[in-house]
Structure 1
Amino acid sequence: MRRRLERLLGIAATEGNELVPLRNGDAIFPAMLEAVRSARHTIDMMTFVYWRGEIAREFAGALAERARDGIRVRLLLDGFGAKEIEQELLDEMDAAGVQVAWFRRPTRLSPLKQNHRCHRKALIVDESVAFTGGVGIAEEWCGDARNPGEWRDTHVQVRGPAVDGIAAAFAQNWAECHDTLYDEHDRFTGHEQPGRATVQVVRGSASFGWQDMQTLIRVVLTSAEHRFRLATAYFAPDVYFVDLLAATARRGVTVEILLPGPYTDQRACQLAGQQHYQTLLDAGVVIRQYQPTMLHTKIITVDGVASLIGSTNFNRRSMEHDEEVMLAVLDEDFTADLDGDFERDMERSEAMDASRWRRRPVGQRLRELAVAPVRRFL
């Protein structure tokens, strides 16, 4: 699988990485804030979502505090996803010396560019530790998925050579928004190899035609021999990937998909994916819907040895339209951790039954058809 990914994507994997999975806000936010507060040289942060609430104020305060102490702090916000950020936080960071840039603000773009967003989430501190995954900066991600107000998500802390790949994802988008790509604070140091994980950092970029993110997912699906697991917040693939999931199940691979249930912030996207449930269920794919709260994870595991984690959902928006970043990890221990989380989440979910779904109400079918015209944008 490593050689397939390297050759077909043209991206070399790195060895000796240490990856720590962080489950939900109670683990994610303290780890990120500790890294920010301990920074000695540089902080680079990018996010799609930066909304309101105490956690938003805490991050702004931490970034501002480090900037006042002379640390180079850069914050890249998506012009659409982060538009709800409070102006007083922007003013606080600006006064402290934080460099804030906006990726493609809608009012300044053509309609074509407005559809292509920066969905990447990354934090890189002192060129030595990085974080990525599905979490935005908002109250919804706080807590431990105990109720509908606390979303379920996973981030990962990375040390080792793979940090450079995550930093490159930041640099690629920063270069579009700012004149200065690097400065005297950047040290361009080498990396130790603190762990055993082999990691390939894959960047998906908004463009036309077949994208690297599609190739990445295609390779891991066709490489699966025993088990393929997917947990995603937004499931609205095109027919090609629906058929590939079904074909993978029909050739004897256990295919398990975990999706949001009653709590979702994108009902249209959920409806677009539900139109494909029957095809998948008839092929033997296991589909379960998470019940306690909004499921926002973006994780794939394969055969207990490989995993993908990052910002990419299993939908056309992530694969075709948005800037994304995904880690392809070869490490049995890390994958086992993610599989353990998957199994715990499955216990809090409800299975979709093929025969029952075939008899779903006419109203449900009509709602699925109603989103068909916009499915490619979901």
Structure 2
Amino acid sequence: MESPPTGAQGWEQPDRLNDQHEMRGPMALPTGFQAFRHALYQSTRMRLQPGHRVELVENGRIFDEVVEAIRGATESVHILVFIWRPSEPSDRIVEALCERARAGVACRVVVDPVGSEEVRGEHDFDPKVEQRLREGGVEVHYFRPLSGRWLGRLLGRTHHKLVILDGQVGFTGGFGIWKSWQGEGDSPEEWRDTNVRVEGPAVREMQLAFARTWQECGGALLPESCFPELEHEGEGYAAFVESTGGHGLSDAERMLRMVFAAARRRLWIANAYFTPPKAILEQLLEKRKQGVDVRVLAAGPVHDWRIVRASQRATYQEMLKGGVRLWEYQPSMLHSKTVLVDDWLCTVGSTNLDALSLHRMREGSVVVADQRLASKLEQCWERDLAHAKEMTLAHGGRTNPWRRFARRVTQLLAVDR
């Protein structure tokens, strides 16, 4: 992590007149950690803080780690999740929560009822799971029930995946509480996902994201003890960047644009729904022109949204012609949302590179400056590429009318800024 050079740079001269008035085109950041740290703070109000221990938690191991952490909680357990459906992972977590609640630990749960709907088609959390939680002493709230307010609330969901224990340990990533996140991500029924366990000051920001949502859902103010002063647990720098959607440029997009701009040698993106706005595609192409090794690992033939995969593939032709390398994960649904920059910067969280995540939904990602974590994420990439197919213009990379149509449809959700 080198120091920034003297003389900060700003926006490069735009090629088109309209670009003088919008956040478009490549952004030139000064080199080094301190320059990126200031850029992230200036753009998202979140500053990378020292003293973090951040560990990758891949695939089904998330449930082992979360259950163990819940059983060790002494004061509070807070869960905010987009998908919670009846399953073996649900049973394990419900049992652990009820055991802690009976022991006097305050257990609070917020569930998005749209994400947690079942095949029966009801936009509701499963009543049996809810009943077990409530009878066990767990307080449960829904995030923005749809009843009577469909039009205004359907897209404004919380896509967070947060578990916070005693205000000191936090988990986030792409996981949901359902059977799809079991296993090792190597079969169609078991999704490939990446999560993190966080200790350090950023856990306070994760707790704050939960608290704000808890209030909106009718929960009481959390006691001050839920926000303890946190010891510096490790050598990494980290920040939790929350985004609430709405009009204009979201914090999710601001965060990603700054992370991408920091790349000097390597920019590797793994994302479940790779359908970013044109401005981000232009930024990736510009980074490649600058000599950065730009790679994208996207979801492949096992996909939960056919139109999204078609929209994703509509970006391939331009990316490939610009020198970006693209892979599709083959064995299962790739659900990870990670970025690896050079050998020191990473992001892991719930933020997809699509219009919903960037402009409509509540999201959260941890930005980490830690060479040790970057090395581990690089090892994940190496394993995933062994199960991925590289796209070329001759094989899967060219666009067609269906893909162009899908791209237009998915971009309708973007905010016109």
Question: Does the TM-score normalized on the shorter chain lie above 0.5?
Answer: yes
Alpha-carbon separation, structure 1, partners of 2:227 and 2:362: 24
Alpha-carbon separation, structure 2, partners of 1:189 and 1:148: 42
1:179 Cα offset (Å): 4.1
Contact 1:132 1:155 in 2 (8 A): yes
1:217 Cα offset (Å): 0.8
The letter of the residue matching 1:18 is R
- Paired residue for 1:208? 247
- Paired residue for 1:160? 200
1:96 Cα offset (Å): 1.6
- Paired residue for 2:284? 245
Contact 1:300 1:309 in 2 (8 A): yes
Q: Tell me, yes or no, if structure 1 residue 236 matches structure 2 residue 275.
A: yes
1:281 Cα offset (Å): 0.6
1:110 Cα offset (Å): 4.5
Name whichever of 339-348 and 281-290 sits farther off: 339-348
Change (3 A) 1:11 1:82: same
Change (3 A) 1:59 1:93: same
Q: Tell me, yes or no, if structure 1 residue 376 matches structure 2 residue 412.
A: yes
- Paired residue for 2:259? 220
Q: Tell me, yes or no, if structure 1 residue 112 matches structure 2 residue 152.
A: yes
Alpha-carbon separation, structure 1, partners of 2:306 and 2:194: 21
1:359 Cα offset (Å): 5.6
Q: Tell me, yes or no, if structure 1 residue 339 matches structure 2 residue 378.
A: yes
Contact 2:169 2:199 in 1 (8 A): yes
Alpha-carbon separation, structure 2, partners of 1:374 and 1:326: 22
TM-score (norm 1): 0.95
The letter of the residue matching 1:59 is I
1:241 is paired with a residue of what secondary structure? Answer: helix
1:79 Cα offset (Å): 2.2
Gaps of 5+ in 1: none
Tell me the alpha carbon deviations over residues 212-258 of structure 1, each in whole angstroms, 9 at most, x when there is no partner. Answer: 11111111112211110000111111111111111111221110000
Tell me the alpha carbon deviations over residues 10-47 of structure 1, each in whole angstroms, 9 at most, x when there is no partner. Answer: 2222211111101110x211110001111111000010
Change (3 A) 1:372 1:325: same
Tell me the alpha carbon deviations over residues 117-136 of structure 1, each in whole angstroms, 9 at most, x when there is no partner. Answer: 10000000111111011000
5 Å matches for 1:299-338?
A: 299-338=338-377
Q: Tell me, yes or no, if structure 1 residue 97 matches structure 2 residue 132.
A: no
The letter of the residue matching 1:218 is R
Contact 1:117 1:206 in 2 (8 A): no
The letter of the residue matching 1:180 is A
Contact 2:313 2:403 in 1 (8 A): no
Contact 1:19 1:197 in 2 (8 A): yes
Q: Tell me, yes or no, if structure 1 residue 129 matches structure 2 residue 162.
A: no
Alpha-carbon separation, structure 1, partners of 2:331 and 2:58: 15
2:78 is paired with a residue of what secondary structure? Answer: strand
The letter of the residue matching 1:375 is Q
Q: Tell me, yes or no, if structure 1 residue 22 matches structure 2 residue 66.
A: no
Contact 2:245 2:360 in 1 (8 A): yes
Change (3 A) 1:66 1:358: closer
5 Å matches for 1:46-85?
A: 46-84=80-118, 85=125
Contact 2:310 2:402 in 1 (8 A): no
- Paired residue for 1:45? 79
- Paired residue for 1:366? 402
Percent identical residues:
31
- Paired residue for 2:44? 9
Alpha-carbon separation, structure 1, partners of 2:107 and 2:366: 24
Gaps of 5+ in 2: 1-35, 119-124
Tell me the alpha carbon deviations over residues 317-350 of structure 1, each in whole angstroms, 9 at most, x when there is no partner. Answer: 1111110011111000011111110121011100
TM-score (norm 2): 0.86
The letter of the residue matching 2:298 is L
Task: Give the length in aligned residue pairs.
Answer: 373
Tell me the alpha carbon deviations over residues 237-289 of structure 1, each in whole angstroms, 9 at most, x when there is no partner. Answer: 11111111111112211100001111011111111121111111100000000
Contact 1:67 1:98 in 2 (8 A): yes
Contact 1:130 1:157 in 2 (8 A): yes
Q: Which has the higher helix share?
A: 1
The letter of the residue matching 2:175 is V
The letter of the residue matching 1:321 is R
Contact 1:317 1:376 in 2 (8 A): no
1:4 Cα offset (Å): 1.2
Tell me the alpha carbon deviations over residues 160-199 of structure 1, each in whole angstroms, 9 at most, x when there is no partner. Answer: 1111011111112111112412148x35321111211100
Contact 1:36 1:43 in 2 (8 A): yes
Aligned-residue RMSD, C-alpha: 1.6
Contact 2:314 2:403 in 1 (8 A): no
Name whichever of 349-358 and 150-159 sits farther off: 349-358
Q: Tell me, yes or no, if structure 1 residue 263 matches structure 2 residue 299.
A: no
Alpha-carbon separation, structure 1, partners of 2:68 and 2:85: 21
Tell me the alpha carbon deviations over residues 125-169 of structure 1, each in whole angstroms, 9 at most, x when there is no partner. Answer: 111111011000000100112311111111111111111011111
Give the one of 323, 326, 351 matched to 1:287: 326
Alpha-carbon separation, structure 1, partners of 2:135 and 2:395: 58
